[in-house]
Amino acid sequence: MTSLALPGGEPAAPRSAARRRMSPWQFWGMMLIAPYVVVFLVFVLYPVLYGLWIARHPESYVKLFDDPVFAGSVVNTLVFLGVAINVKMGLALFLSGFFANTRPWIRWLSVLFILPWAVPSIPTILSFRFMLNPEWGIINSLIFQLTGADGPNWLNERWVALSMAMVVHTWKSLPFWTLILLAGRLAIPGELYEAASVDGASTWQKFKFVTWPSVSGLYLTSLILSTIWSLGDFNSIYLLTGGGPADLTHVLATLGIRYLRLDQVDLSMATIVCALPLVLPLVYFMMKRLSK
Amino acid sequence: MKLRDVTREAKLLLVGIPVALWTLIPIYHMLLFALSTKDEAFSGRLWPAHPTLSNFALVFEQKNYWLNHFWLQLWNSLLIAVAVGAITLFVATGAAFAISRLKVKGGRLVMNLALFTYFIPAAFLAVPMYKAMGTYGLLNSQWALILAMITLASPYAIWVLKQASDKLPVELDEAARIDGASPLQLFRLVYVPLMTPSLVAVGTYALLLAWNEYLYAFLLLSRDTDITLAVALGHFLSADDSPWELLMTTGFIYALPPAAIYYAFKRYMVTGLTAGAVKS
């Protein structure tokens, strides 16, 4: 940093002086860290400051709060986070216990299980989208063949469509969190379980007194991290419902982009600023945890 | 004893079978469409009565309005992913080496700023990034997407590399200093060879992140000849009578390389990338 802050008047003399005072280790440290510092200043700091500058007018917020789509999106976002994250993390905790069993077929299954996370989300979300098509989709065809009745119009009703977006979101990210929690479980010494078995502990008691105390910290970290990332999940909503029907299934992430596409950048940035009270405390919590 | 083993195995299967179905159905559905003609795909059958590779032929010969630039878009995806992987690796390795081994002044601050960037949801950074790219005159240039993806990939890359690099013994650096090695020699002859597994993991991570990206690609690029395959797949949706069987075929082709890379580097990916996250 000091080398960047030198006055520009007489470049040669002060720089060589600085170089003489600075060890080659510090000098090369600055040279090697400089590319990232430049990336940060140019593509994070400037955009964020520019964005906040765009979002400075109080009228933008008045306009935003008057838009019924905004209120709906806030509710959708909270429902999405409250339901999808807890269901997903609960499932991941349960499945990490399942995958901790050592059987050849379970090892094979775990290789398959990682697929949703390993493949890009666009084609698989579009695959879900067509499966849910009311006329041609495979799900309603099956319902018709089995019951003779027409299936629901999956993506055309607010809460059904939003639930389907949560299913897609869970499908995509469940493997990752299961792996993380599995790694946490495998780090627990086996003797603890053996001792518990000797004492005649039931499966539930083993979970409650051995597993949970060891993984609860990891579980909490994962829950917070998953909340932050899910707030930014644009694909699951946009590619499945496009925010429809009638803009009823938008979340804050897709709403911000919708305003941008409508050339209402002030509303777009205002939407993001409105999400900050939720994001920043979580980010602060994560930074505290990781920089320990 | 025997009966208990059987019930235990049955309970495991009771979980395992739904897990297998849940995982495979959307992927199987994609493959089913890729192997079916349009009429069959839309008939709601569970398997193709007359499996055919004609969809693949149509895609490879670009014989559809939506596929006019298939090969070029595949090339764009590849070029951008490789550029992001290589440049991120360069930026992140330098930064991690400077912070962890050279203990550069302000290294801690830079690490915290990088982590902060990592935790900001990418969809929220997209709008300011789009505006900034406009200011820089980079909109509709593939450099905009490459630079944006480097910005998104570097923080986690630096963090993973710093974690791995902190584990290398300090004695190595001291020995190198006593032998009169310069920082660059230490970097080239000691650091990079020892860090190879983490470097592979991080490079692959950045490459896949860029290959898979939809939102930024869709905002920053618009010409049909510039866009990546991800954006081209999204474009299919703008038509009412989209050729879904071709869309699923293209999607299948697009999903193959990341899946293959993931399984090829699984050893590196799992140990390299989850090691950081597990530490809580």
- Find the closest chain B residue to A167 by CA distance: B22
Question: CB distance B104–A30 less than 8 Å?
Answer: yes
To the nearest whole percent, how much of chain A has pLDDT over 70?
92
Question: CB distance B183–A136 less than 8 Å?
Answer: no
The pLDDT of B68-79, averaged and rounded, is 93
Query: The whole model's pTM is what?
Result: 0.88
Q: Which of A114, A117, A127 is the best mutation test for B, with the most CBs of B within 10 A?
A: A127
Q: Which of A23, A59, A14 is nearest to B102 (CA)?
A: A23
Using pLDDT thresholds of 50, 70 and 90, give the confidence band for residue B158.
very high
Quick check: B75 pLDDT over 80?
yes
Rounded CA-CA distance A92/A178 in Å is 4
Q: Which two tokens stand for residue B19?
A: 């897990």
Q: How many Cβ pairs within 8 Å bridge chains A and B?
A: 279
Quick check: B233 pLDDT over 80?
yes
Using pLDDT thresholds of 50, 70 and 90, give the confidence band for residue B280.
very low
What does the pLDDT read at residue B243? Answer: 85
Q: For the packed helices A121-131 and B244-264, what is the interaxial angle rounded to 10 degrees?
A: 140
The pLDDT of A82-95, averaged and rounded, is 95
Would you say A254 and A238 are in contact if contact means Cβ atoms under 8 Å apart?
A: yes
Q: Which two tokens stand for residue B257?
A: 């390389």
Question: CB distance B12–A123 less than 8 Å?
Answer: no
Rounded CA-CA distance B185/A253 in Å is 46
How would you label A68-106 residue by residue, b for 16+ Cβ within 10 Å and e otherwise? Answer: ebbebbbebbeebbeebbeebbebbbebbbbbeeeeeeb
Question: CB distance A32–B102 less than 8 Å?
Answer: yes
Question: CB distance B158–A122 less than 8 Å?
Answer: no
What does the pLDDT read at residue B182? Answer: 86
Question: CB distance A35–B132 less than 8 Å?
Answer: no
Using pLDDT thresholds of 50, 70 and 90, give the confidence band for residue A8.
very low
Quick check: A95 pLDDT over 90?
yes
What does the pLDDT read at residue A20? Answer: 56
What does the pLDDT read at residue B1? Answer: 56
B67: which DSSP letter?
A: G
The pLDDT of A1-22, averaged and rounded, is 47
What does the pLDDT read at residue B271? Answer: 59
Residue from the list A47, A141, A289 with its beta carbon closest to the beta carbon of B128: A47
Q: Which of chain A's residues have a Cβ under 8 Å away from the Cβ of B112?
A: 287, 291
Q: Which two tokens stand for residue A2?
A: 């000091």
Q: Which two tokens stand for residue A42?
A: 């140019």
- Structure confidence by residue, pLDDT tens digits, B243-273: 888 899 999 999 999 999 888 887 776 655 5
Rounded CA-CA distance A130/B44 in Å is 11
What does the pLDDT read at residue B212? Answer: 92
Rounded CA-CA distance A22/B104 in Å is 11
Question: CB distance A256–B24 less than 8 Å?
Answer: no
The pLDDT of B167-176, averaged and rounded, is 85
The pLDDT of B161-174, averaged and rounded, is 87
Q: Which of chain B's residues have a Cβ under 8 Å away from the Cβ of A268?
A: 127
What does the pLDDT read at residue B51? Answer: 85
Q: Which of B17, B131, B185, B244 is the best mutation test for A, with the most CBs of A within 10 A?
A: B131
Q: Which of chain A's residues have a Cβ under 8 Å away from the Cβ of B97?
A: 32
What does the pLDDT read at residue B263? Answer: 84
Question: CB distance A265–B127 less than 8 Å?
Answer: yes
Rounded CA-CA distance A20/A15 in Å is 9
Q: Which of chain B's residues have a Cβ under 8 Å away from the Cβ of A55?
A: none
Residue from the list B22, B29, B258 with its beta carbon closest to the beta carbon of A119: B258
Q: Is the peptide bond before A245 cis (omega within 30 degrees of 0)?
A: yes
Quick check: B7 pLDDT over 50?
yes
Rounded CA-CA distance B262/B81 in Å is 14
Would you say B182 and B115 are in contact if contact means Cβ atoms under 8 Å apart?
A: no
Would you say B148 and A43 are in contact if contact means Cβ atoms under 8 Å apart?
A: yes
Mean pLDDT of chain B: 88
* Residue B250 region by backbone torsions, left for phi larger than 0, else alpha for psi between -120 and 50, else beta: alpha
- Structure confidence by residue, pLDDT tens digits, A51-70: 999 999 899 999 999 999 99
Question: CB distance B104–A26 less than 8 Å?
Answer: yes
- Highest mean pLDDT among A85-99, A125-139, A177-191, B239-253 belongs to A85-99
Rounded CA-CA distance B76/B46 in Å is 35
ipTM: 0.89
Q: What is the dihedral of CA A96, B262, B162, B179, to 10 degrees?
A: 130
What DSSP letter does each residue of B171-186 carry, written as one string?
Answer: HHHHHHHHTT--HHHI
Q: Which of chain A's residues have a Cβ under 8 Å away from the Cβ of B30?
A: 123-124, 127
Strand, helix or coil for residue A73 = helix
The pLDDT of B183-189, averaged and rounded, is 88
How would you label A258-269 residue by residue, b for 16+ Cβ within 10 Å and e otherwise? Answer: bbbeeebbbbbb
Question: CB distance A1–B105 less than 8 Å?
Answer: yes
What does the pLDDT read at residue B169? Answer: 87
Other CB atoms within a 10 A radius of the CB of residue A226 amount to: 21
Would you say A154 and A160 are in contact if contact means Cβ atoms under 8 Å apart?
A: yes
Encoded amino acid at A292, one letter: K
Mean pLDDT of chain A: 87
Phi/psi for A104 (5° steps) reads: -55, -45
Q: Which of chain A's residues have a Cβ under 8 Å away from the Cβ of B236?
A: 126
Rounded CA-CA distance B158/B145 in Å is 20
Distance set, CA B72 to CA A96, B16, B80 (Å): 42, 41, 12
- Structure confidence by residue, pLDDT tens digits, A151-170: 888 888 899 999 999 999 99
Q: Which two tokens stand for residue B241?
A: 């009578």
**Shortest CA gap A180–chain B (Å):** 6
- Structure confidence by residue, pLDDT tens digits, B105-150: 999 999 999 999 998 898 999 999 999 999 999 998 999 999 999 9
Residue from the list A144, A187, A272 with its beta carbon closest to the beta carbon of B124: A272
Q: Which two tokens stand for residue B221?
A: 């690029």
Positive or negative, the CA dihedral B24, B26, B28, B30 is negative
Radius of gyration of chain A (CA): 25
What does the pLDDT read at residue A138? Answer: 84
Quick check: B240 pLDDT over 70?
no
To the nearest whole percent, how much of chain B has pLDDT over 70?
94
Using pLDDT thresholds of 50, 70 and 90, give the confidence band for residue A37.
very high
The pLDDT of B166-194, averaged and rounded, is 86
CA B88 to centroid of chain Cα atoms: 12
The pLDDT of A219-232, averaged and rounded, is 90
